[in-house]
Amino acid sequence: MLAQDSKLYSFKSGMIKYKFEGRAAGVETVYFDDYGMLTSTFKTIYSELNNKSTCTIIKHDTIFELNINNHTIMANCLSDNFSGTKQNIISNEALVVLGFFKSGVDIVAGKNCDKFSGNSGTLWVWNNIVLKSEMNILDKVTITEASYVEMGIEISKSKFEIPKDYKIINQ
């Protein structure tokens, strides 16, 4: 299957920076190339005790979860029926199935987004990418919002490389 046929992203490559708060606070940067067949997500969660940094790399049919603090990797093969769904990608059809309805339009990170509302919260979607979400989970509101979006850029191949000095703890 060709990468562009998978419909993960409408763009060959890009970078999105998010900030989130609620049950946890932190930042996340998503890099993708090859229409999403290569994806790296760098996330740092801030807490009073310590900060935890992780990196998740998806390379075609394998997901690598890197723990940056202790230099370990958990690797898992994705199932054959894996559709490439990522946490920030969703179709309008899926939103309807999940009980969301289009409630307006708004600008997030300079992009014109369709705003969808439902019982569990609100999503702002641009080109099937969630750029902002306000979700009520167990009576706690979690807000994630893109602060920077750039598409069609050159992404360094190093963003998708697995560090050689990390220890794989399962396969």
| Domain coverage including residue 69 | 3-170
Mean pLDDT of 114-134: 96
78: tokens are: 């994705």
CB-CB neighbours of 81 under 10 Å: 5
Q: What is the pLDDT of residue 7?
A: 58
pTM of this structure: 0.86
Higher pLDDT, 103 or 83: 103
13-25 pLDDT per residue, tens: 999 999 999 988 9
CATH of the domain at 108: 2.50.20.10
